[in-house]
Amino acid sequence: MTDLLRQAVVRPLALHWLSNSHLSWRSLTSPESSGSVSVPGPDPDRILLVGGGISVGWGMSSHDDALGGYLARSISTATGRGITIDVVTDDILSGSAELPFGVTRILRTADAVVITPGDVDAILFLPGAIYRRRLENALDQMTGRGPANMRIFIVATPPLDTVTALPRVFRPWAARLGAALNDKARQLCRERPNTIFVPFSPSGIAGREGTGRTYSAWAELIAPSIARQLNSCADRSIR
């Protein structure tokens, strides 16, 4: 009955609100679906940031001012090295069988991949088994096409009301469903070498406009786990 209620009532109402409310980020501008940001420095790391949701850069015209840019600067500060982050805002958990060509091309020379699990409002209503299957398919393709030492980071599905304003009636559902998806992601990470789950629970949003303060705060939550792993790998895949 819970799944039926979720699919038949709660999901349509939530998607309607997110598509039409003046508080939703959906109507904001965003950068091109692919791009790259770099920080100069020695022995640079190369990272692929792929997914939807927080990676899209709502409210910004450039990835340099969105999550990709702030992650690059935060990670470079922590490692003392240069970095290039290639951003592909494609929802790899949409159900398509193959990764986009742009993703597979970048994977060949990537030190790490950072996955944001897609448009949160869409995946939040997926049954856990389907979410796990789609994520597992994406991980299989990435590990098969990337260097042997490549790290893969799965960023947690955040509580939805910490990344966008929500009607009060949806908040308990969002928290419960997000926690269930994160349990699936953690399980996969425990089963796979070089795959790391990154907790992500922002304390709040700076505003609908997606100001730099929002993306900076998000990057500061995500970057430390990535920097530690890059620094701990003595034989990085790309030098």
pLDDT of residue 212: 64
CATH code of the domain covering residue 50: 3.40.50.1110
Say how far apart CA 203 and CA 185 lie, in whole Å.
21
Say how far apart CA 205 and CA 52 lie, in whole Å.
18
pLDDT of residue 239: 41
In a domain, 44, yes or no: yes
In a domain, 238, yes or no: no
Number of domains in the chain: 1
Contact yes or no for 116/52 (Cβ under 8 A) = yes
In a domain, 239, yes or no: no
In a domain, 237, yes or no: no
Say how far apart CA 230 and CA 233 lie, in whole Å.
6
pLDDT of residue 28: 77
* Residue 196 structural domain: 2-232
In a domain, 8, yes or no: yes
In a domain, 181, yes or no: yes
pLDDT of residue 102: 78
In a domain, 212, yes or no: yes
Mean pLDDT by 10 residues, the chain (239 residues): 61 69 70 92 96 85 94 97 93 70 88 82 71 90 92 87 65 73 93 94 64 84 95 56
